[in-house]
């Protein structure tokens, strides 16, 4: 026989757990909420929140932004950009596209796992098909010598132990055989010494400049003491600000657009795959021929090489330069500022109709 106080305690716990099970979830409408496609709408549109009050005395209201904060797409991407920088981030992604293993090393479980997840998600439109181990115990460091590609993470205590892992003979041997290492403590990327890999890694100027601009914008936001970029707990409770969210969204679509272009008409034409392989009608197996795909790219490159030496192309370059100069002149003029303010005002009026 139990006392009345013990019975009431059990009953209270049961009711609380029942509430969590039956009430603490997103409705169908809430789960379908997505970010606006327009970047301006992301900044100025009304924010939605999931709100619930637990049946516990003095318990604070649970209030989470919708869509829910994304650990990889948002927090992980932000930390990678701010820690290793845009150039090293793209190089790491290029290594993964070549199916070379990448090991993340840091002192925080949240940091290492979220950055590992971000790397995998940033490979779009491609999907990582090999091993993903966001947390690898130090006692299993032998795994880095595995012959299969992987995205892995190791968490250790303190900078001294980080240095020990970097200098470990297993790490050094793996890096000679194709593995690269992202050191989140020092904010550096150590690229594999595998022969021939470094020559293939080159970040296009436009991609580097675009991401660098977004990186500096993030640094400005991070300098604000109230920014969620400074605290994982604050990020989980409040999400990023609209401007931070837009900056990270721009970084994601910039990277994805570049990677999508690598597949040429395979990305733009739903039937593009048919041009570069044969289908076995009996087994329904499609055999992709990389040589067919590259033959088309080489033909395009030969034509492009001839085109850039023509007066026609030089004239196009000049027209683009003049267009830029005109826009710069207009943007710094009083008339340009008035037009921008008027357009913003009209956009806000239309949004509230």
In tens, the pLDDT along 249-266 reads 999 999 999 999 999 999
**110 touches 118 (CB < 8 A):** no
CB 117 within 8 A of CB 76: yes
- Predicted local confidence at residue 52, as pLDDT: 82
Q: Looking at 60-178, list the stretches that DSSP marks H as alpha helix, in order from N- to C-terminal side.
A: 77-97, 109-121, 158-167, 169-176
Spatial separation of the C-alpha atoms in residues 46 and 26, rounded to whole Å: 18
- Cα 193 to Cα 116, 179, 275, 289, distances in angstroms: 22, 8, 36, 29
Phi then psi for 65, rounded to 5 degrees? Answer: -70, 150
Instruction: Give the 3-state secondary structure of residue 242.
Output: helix
pLDDT of 153: 97
DSSP 8-state assignment for residue 76: I
- Give the tens place of pLDDT for each residue, 300-338: 999 999 999 999 999 999 999 999 998 888 777 777 677
**Per-residue DSSP letter, 138:** G
Question: 102: closest CA among 167, 179, 1?
Answer: 179
User: For position 353, what pLDDT does the model report?
Assistant: 52
Contact of 106 with 112, CB cutoff 8 Å = yes
- pLDDT at position 344 is 67
Q: Secondary structure of 193-251 in the HEC alphabet?
A: CCCCHHHHCCCCHHHHHHHHHHHHHHHHHHCCCCCHHHCHHHHHHHCCCHHHHHHHHHH
Share of the chain above pLDDT 90, in %: 65
The pLDDT value recorded for residue 223 is 95
Neighbours of 175 (CB within 10 A): 20
69-102: b (≥16 Cβ within 10 Å) or e: bbbbbbbbbbbbbbbbbbebbbbbbbbbeeebbb
Prediction pTM value? 0.84
301 upstream amide cis, omega within 30 of 0: no
> Residue 95: CA atoms inside 13 Å, Cβ hemisphere, count?
30
Cα dihedral 234→240→244→247 (10° resolution) = 130
Q: Which residues of the chain have pLDDT under 70?
A: 1, 336, 340, 343-344, 346-353
- Please provide residue 124's backbone torsions phi and psi, each rounded to the nearest 5 degrees: -55, 140
Other beta carbons less than 10 A from residue 245's beta carbon? 23
Per DSSP, the three-state class of 64 is strand
Quickly tell me which residue has 């650990």 as its tokens: 71
Q: What is the pLDDT of residues 34-80, one digit of tens each?
A: 877 777 777 777 778 888 887 777 777 878 888 888 899 999 999 99
Residue indicated by tokens 């296009």 = 204
Q: What is the pLDDT of residue 5?
A: 81
**Angle between helical axes of 158-167 and 169-176 (0-180°, round to 10):** 50
What confidence score (pLDDT) does residue 64 get?
A: 80
The string of DSSP codes covering 39-58 is HHHHHHSPPEEEEE--SSTT
């Amino acid at each position: 026989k139990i006392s009345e106080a013990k019975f009431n305690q059990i009953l209270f716990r049961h009711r609380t757990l029942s509430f969590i099970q039956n009430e603490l979830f997103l409705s169908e409408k809430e789960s379908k909420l997505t970010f606006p496609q327009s970047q301006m709408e992301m900044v100025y549109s009304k924010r939605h929140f999931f709100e619930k009050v637990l049946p516990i005395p003095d318990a604070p209201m649970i209030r989470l932004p919708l869509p829910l904060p994304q650990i990889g797409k948002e927090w992980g991407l932000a930390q990678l950009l701010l820690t290793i920088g845009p150039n090293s981030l793209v190089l790491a992604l290029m290594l993964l596209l070549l199916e070379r293993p990448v090991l993340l090393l840091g002192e925080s479980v949240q940091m290492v796992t979220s950055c590992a997840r971000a790397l995998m998600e940033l490979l779009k439109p491609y999907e990582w098909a090999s091993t993903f181990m966001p947390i690898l115990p130090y006692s299993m460091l032998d795994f880095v010598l595995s012959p299969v590609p992987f995205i892995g993470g190791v968490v250790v205590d303190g900078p001294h132990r980080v240095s020990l892992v970097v200098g470990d003979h297993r790490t050094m041997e793996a890096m000679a055989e194709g593995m690269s290492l992202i050191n989140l403590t020092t904010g550096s990327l150590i690229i594999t010494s595998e022969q021939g890999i470094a020559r293939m890694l080159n970040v296009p100027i436009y991609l580097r400049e675009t991401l660098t601009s977004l990186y500096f914008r993030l640094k400005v936001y991070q300098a604000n003491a109230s920014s969620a970029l400074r605290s994982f707990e604050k990020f989980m409770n409040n999400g990023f600000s609209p401007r931070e969210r837009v900056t990270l969204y721009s970084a994601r679509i910039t990277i994805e657009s570049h990677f999508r272009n690598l597949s040429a008409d395979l990305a733009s034409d739903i039937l593009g795959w048919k041009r570069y392989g044969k289908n076995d009608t009996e087994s329904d197996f499609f055999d992709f021929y990389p040589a067919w795909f590259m033959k088309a790219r080489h033909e395009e490159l030969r034509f492009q090489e001839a085109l850039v030496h023509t007066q026609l192309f030089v004239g196009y370059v000049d027209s683009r330069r003049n267009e830029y100069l005109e826009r710069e002149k207009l943007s710094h003029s009083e008339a340009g500022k008035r037009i921008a303010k008027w357009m913003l005002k009209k956009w806000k009026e239309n949004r509230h109709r």
